[in-house]
Amino acid sequence: MKKMLIIVSFVLYAAIGFTQARIISGPMLGPVELRDAKIWVEVSSDVKTAAIQYNKKGTTANKTITYKGTLGNEFNPIQFTIGGLDFNTTYQYKVLINGKAAGSTAEFTTKDLWQWRKPTPDFSFLTGSCSYFNEPVFDRPGTPYGKDTSIFETMAKEKAAFMLWLGDAWYTRDVDYYSDWGLQYRASHDRAVPVLQPFLRAMPQFGIWDDHDYGPNDIGKNYILKETSREIWKKYWCNPSYGENGQGTYTMTTWGDADIFLTDDRWWRSADRMKDSVNGFPNPEKEMLGTQQMEWLKNSLLYSSATFKIIVLGSQVLNPVSPYDKWHDFPAEYEDFMNFLKEYKINGVVFLTGDRHHSEIIKVDRPGTYSLYDITVSPLTSGTHSFGGPEKNNPYRVLGIDQLQNYGKFSFSGPRNDRKLTVDYFGVKGEKLGTWSVSEKALKTP
């Protein structure tokens, strides 16, 4: 009898162990290009093998890519790259855990080879910032800071080319700030929230970081765990690249006739309290993007022939009356960049920013050339902000949305040489909160 109980116990233990081998979060689509696609997933510590099985939609000829890296760690975020694909083709895929299908079948469609062959394609992408998921044991007492997460259910139903996260995709807590394990835990925990999962596989996902998914509030280059944070970032995003020379997380992507520059406003950032000016002149030691990144950004803009050049930052750029952190408060670097744009007649520049817990579009005129716009989209699920103080009736604001969760949709449309960018803001259930547009011609040097 005792022998029988031991056998039954062993069988039950083995069965439980087998069922625990699972997907923790994902799959999440990364960049999908003309001939390859990246797929991210995190699996449990008892997974022995993980693979992606895929096929052209409508066919039954499957191919399998097996993950060759190390598994069995406490946290196991992994990435796959599927190469040799056909352009403008839809593929189906599923994750295999220990040789068996886990989760439902998902799909993606590679980009079309339209250049020199077809009219410029119309397309759109989603965007937003500040995604807070409550975890009461670690949250501050009082009213929960995280709000209605069903916004991600709404976003998952959108037809868009990709999602661009504008920073604070997760919020580190006091218990995480100075712990390697804590930073890893926060990324893993918040990525695994169930309501996120359909959205992560619905479209490719790109991201920049800001202070909360980098480390403590408002911190910059002095963060002692910045290298750890960068390594975790690389594990949890499938961005095309992550800075250069082991520094920073900046990168770029191209869709249609838009080049999108994803900058890093934390790695080189001086303390916000450092003086803006010294002896009446802009302080050259106070920088946000840093020399290496600025060199990359300027050269990338000079190389770009895109109609629209979307420069993405975690902090606002232009808002002259904001009492909070913005690139404008780093005047040596800011003025140098503005002079560069004007001197080289860089057309089509629009700034896209997050952070503020409200959404708005700021317009700043420039003598002798076209006006610049700073389009802020925030928050997704964190607490909201009310316009007040010097910002209450901001004369530079052309559209504003406060006290409401929201996401943005950037749409590019129209014939060649007459393209238009339209920005729509939507609420939690998809209700339209505001719309604005600008023509290609309004973003050109006279």
Please give the C-alpha separations between residue 337 and each of 146, 270, 291, in angstroms, as whole numbers: 36, 17, 11
- Looking up tokens 């080289």, which residue turns up? 344
- Per-residue HEC secondary structure of 386-408 comes to CCCHHHCCCCCEEEEECCCCCEE
pLDDT over 90 at 202, yes or no: yes
Predicted pLDDT at 287: 98
Mean pLDDT of the 360-389 span: 97
Predicted pLDDT at 406: 98
Q: pLDDT tens-digit profile of 412-446?
A: 999 999 999 999 999 999 999 999 999 999 999 99
Please tell me the distance from the alpha carbon of residue 408 to that of residue 423, in angstroms, as a whole number. Answer: 7
Q: pLDDT tens-digit profile of 301-334?
A: 999 999 999 999 999 999 999 999 899 999 999 9
Q: pLDDT tens-digit profile of 70-119?
A: 999 999 999 999 999 999 999 999 999 999 999 999 999 999 999 999 99
Predicted pLDDT at 12: 40
Residue count of the chain, please give it: 446
Contact of 151 with 428, CB cutoff 8 Å: yes
Superfamily of domain 22-109: Immunoglobulins (2.60.40.10)
Q: Which of 349, 28, 306 has its CA nearest to residue 162?
A: 28
Predicted pLDDT at 441: 98
Parallel, antiparallel or unpaired: strands 349-353 and 308-313: parallel
Q: What are the boundaries of each domain within the chain?
A: 22-109, 123-443
Predicted pLDDT at 42: 98
pTM given for the model:
0.95
Give the tokens for residue 273: 């309290």
Predicted pLDDT at 20: 78
The amino acid at residue 343 is E
Predicted pLDDT at 11: 40
Predicted pLDDT at 4: 45
- Mean pLDDT, the chain, rounded, equals 95
Domains 22-109 and 123-443 share a fold: no
DSSP sequence for 180-239: HHHHHHHHHHHHT-GGGHHHHHHS-EEEE--HHHHSSTT--TT-TTHHHHHHHHHHH---
Give the tokens for residue 429: 């259930």
Q: Which of 25, 233, 210 has its CA nearest to residue 129?
A: 210
Give the tokens for residue 143: 């009213």
Residue 6 — very low, low, confident or very high, per pLDDT cuts 50/70/90? very low
pLDDT over 50 at 17, yes or no: no
Residue 55 — very low, low, confident or very high, per pLDDT cuts 50/70/90? very high
Q: How many CA atoms does the CB half-sphere of 338 hold within 13 Å?
A: 20
pLDDT over 70 at 294, yes or no: yes
Pick from 1-10, 51-60, 168-177, 344-353: least confident: 1-10
- For 123-443, CATH gives 3.60.21.70
